[in-house]
Amino acid sequence: MESFRMFCDGSHRIASLADFLGDRLQESLSEAVYKKAAIDTVDEMKCNITAFNGNRSKLEFHLMKSLAEKEEFQSLITYINQPKAAFEIFIKECVDQYYMDKSRSIYKALKINLDQFTKLIHSAIKKSSSITIGRHGDVSSWLDTFCSELSAHLTLSHSDFKGVKYQNIKDIDFLKEAMTKALETVEENLKCDFSTCDVSNIKARPYEILYEQLAGCWETCPLCKAVCTNTVPGHKEDHSVKFHRSQGISGWRFSKTEYLVTGVCSSYVASDKCFKLNDKDRYPYREYRTAGPPYSKWSITPDLSSLNYWKWVVCRFQSDFEKHYKKKFAFINLTLKLTILIDINMKKQ
Ligand SMILES: [Zn+2]
Ligand SMILES: [Zn+2]
């Protein structure tokens, strides 16, 4: 009678232990499956989405293209004044679009990953059991082996199991059986979760991974707000960008007037023109570095060419910019305006 009670107590304790371990496993397993799916999806997206398969300059080109297609001033001004936010929005939009197109394959990927991880756990249960039995060990040594077997794949800390570690359970065969059953339940639960899962569960991570991988230096030209194209955040060399913009786009106006500057800073640095800070300190563009930081930290090389994109932006959104900065654009060449607008319209047809 006494031994039967002991057996019941023991098996009951093992079953509770298996349930407890099952719950911990479900959390770690779900986390690992989503994490792996996110990494796999990022790799897939980098192969399939052109905007993501290069460096940030390539991403910026696609962002500019999408802004030109949208023709929304609000999105454009966000890109000019808060480039980081605009990049985040653009990456999110691409990721959302990708999930909309590929939702089925993402569910499949989650199930495949779940299968792989479950196999690893099954083999860890078997291995821990045979090692522990061979050494006449108890549940504590079983847990040691189990955690170290899975440490490369799951975030499973032995300290999570502290509460059950010292229960002096010796029936390892029964533990093995109970754990196998608990794992089957966990697998069913997760399959069910994945089938009904809203893809937003996984969306945030690929977005975060991509943003981190594609981020670079976020400094902007103090004259036109073009983003530095260096791919290393906090780089030692001067900031630089290939294409600068019309300065009026970032709100620069001619001194003591209400007119926005149409010219591009990279052309001005080759001229005899000057700029003023705080309406008093005057600096020749040729010696823009004398204005101190952030000017001194930029390498703006004289370049008389500029992207047609920014000329088009000024022409297309002239009145929006004027309303936004409560100023007028000076000297917009009407012939240029017509040429660009006609050119763009021809390309659209
Ligand atoms: Zn500039
Ligand atoms: Zn930089």
Q: Tell how far the Cα of 250 is from the centroid of ligand 1, in angstroms.
A: 10
Q: Tell how far the Cα of 250 is from the centroid of ligand 2, in angstroms.
A: 18
Q: Tell how far the Cα of 329 is from the centroid of ligand 2, in angstroms.
A: 29
Write down the domain spans for the chain.
Answer: 2-214, 247-348
- The ligand that comes nearest to the alpha carbon of residue 237 is 2
Q: Tell how far the Cα of 18 is from the centroid of ligand 1, in angstroms.
A: 64
Q: Tell how far the Cα of 273 is from the centroid of ligand 2, in angstroms.
A: 25
Enter the pTM of the model. Answer: 0.76
- For 240-276, write each residue's pLDDT tens digit: 998 899 899 999 988 888 889 988 999 999 999 999 9
Residue 123's pLDDT band, with cuts at 50, 70 and 90, is very high
> Nearest 5°: phi and psi at 13?
-65, -40
Q: Tell how far the Cα of 218 is from the centroid of ligand 1, in angstroms.
A: 14
Q: Tell how far the Cα of 140 is from the centroid of ligand 1, in angstroms.
A: 64
- The ligand that comes nearest to the alpha carbon of residue 219 is 2
CB under 8 Å to 98, separation ≥6 — which residues?
Answer: 41, 45, 48, 49
Tokens of 147: 């955690």
CB under 8 Å to 114, separation ≥6 — which residues?
Answer: 29, 33, 187, 190, 191, 194
Q: Tell how far the Cα of 301 is from the centroid of ligand 1, in angstroms.
A: 10
Q: Report d(CA 218, CA 227) in Å as an integer.
A: 6
Q: Tell how far the Cα of 207 is from the centroid of ligand 1, in angstroms.
A: 29
The angle, 0 to 180 degrees and rounded to 10, between the axes of the packed helices 308-316 and 56-70 is 30
For 320-348, give the DSSP string: HHHHHHTSEE----HHHHHHHHHHHHHHH
Q: Report d(CA 19, CA 281) in Å as an integer.
A: 73
Q: Tell how far the Cα of 297 is from the centroid of ligand 1, in angstroms.
A: 12
Q: Tell how far the Cα of 245 is from the centroid of ligand 1, in angstroms.
A: 6
Residues with CB under 5 A from ligand 2 (ion): 217, 219, 228, 230, 239
Q: Tell how far the Cα of 278 is from the centroid of ligand 2, in angstroms.
A: 25
Q: Tell how far the Cα of 223 is from the centroid of ligand 2, in angstroms.
A: 14
CB under 8 Å to 299, separation ≥6 — which residues?
Answer: 237, 238, 239, 240
Sign of the dihedral defined by the CA atoms of residues 321, 327, 328, 331, in that order: negative
Q: Tell how far the Cα of 259 is from the centroid of ligand 2, in angstroms.
A: 30
- For 317-336, write each residue's pLDDT tens digit: 988 999 999 998 876 665 55
- For 76-109, write each residue's pLDDT tens digit: 999 999 999 999 999 999 988 888 876 667 788 8
DSSP 238: P
Q: Which of 18-22, 252-256, 291-295, 333-337 has the highest mean pLDDT?
A: 291-295
Percent of the chain predicted with pLDDT > 90 = 45
**Does pLDDT of 35 surpass 60?**
yes
- The ligand that comes nearest to the alpha carbon of residue 234 is 2
Tokens of 120: 């690893």
Q: End-to-end distance of the chain based on CA atoms, in angstroms?
A: 91
Pairing of strands 328-329, 259-260: parallel
- The ligand that comes nearest to the alpha carbon of residue 216 is 2
Q: What is the 3-state secondary structure (H, E, C) of 152-195?
A: CCCCCCHHHHHHHHCCCCCCHHHHHHHHHHHHHHHHHHHHHHHH
- What is the separation of C-alpha 170 from the centre of its chain, rounded to a whole number of angstroms? 48
